[in-house]
Amino acid sequence: MVTVAEGFNEADIDVQDLGGILKAKCATGGTAKGSKIELQGNHVKKVEALLIELGFPVEVIKEARP
């Protein structure tokens, strides 16, 4: 399982820094490339809460499932 956060505007957000914060808070490995952050494991709820805590609007945070 991989948790993916994507769609960040690279002009506004340092995706590498945000990826580092999410990896540290979720205590997991992962990578940040382009406008996408991938975290190892199922961290959907925690990432959602962290993004809200960091000031991202709730309206733009949505869970995608296959």
Check residue 63 and give its pLDDT.
54
Cα–chain center distance at 3: 8
pLDDT(64) > 60 = no
Please tell me what DSSP assigns to residue 59: G
For residue range 49-59, list pLDDT tens digits in order: 999 999 988 77
- The confidence band for 3, taking pLDDT boundaries of 50, 70 and 90, is very high
pLDDT(62) > 60 = yes
pTM of the predicted model as reported, rounded to 2 decimal places: 0.86
Beta carbons of 10 and 39 less than 8 angstroms apart: no
Mean pLDDT within 14-26: 96
